[in-house]
Structure 1
């Protein structure tokens, strides 16, 4: 299973439990990684991206 599929398993758990308190350990277990690694991947993929155009430079 690749990393993106693993992350998607964790995200699916979050989506299915939006109305409940989700457990970090359960998310990480479903994503096949540590809590630390899941949080790092999640923040990397969801942070806003800044795009600089040539006209702005």
Structure 2
């Protein structure tokens, strides 16, 4: 938490927001790409149904 605060103070809120949005978008698109290729969502759904 302290490191994050230092980074916010160094870059400023606007820079930090841009970096955060960029990371979120890249992570989201990589996960959706993997989801389509491997079918992670279907595997998770199957596991959830087995537990119930």
TM-score bucket of the superposed structures, by smaller chain: 0.3 to 0.5
User: Which structure is higher in helix share?
Assistant: 2
Superposition TM-score, scaled by structure 1 size = 0.33
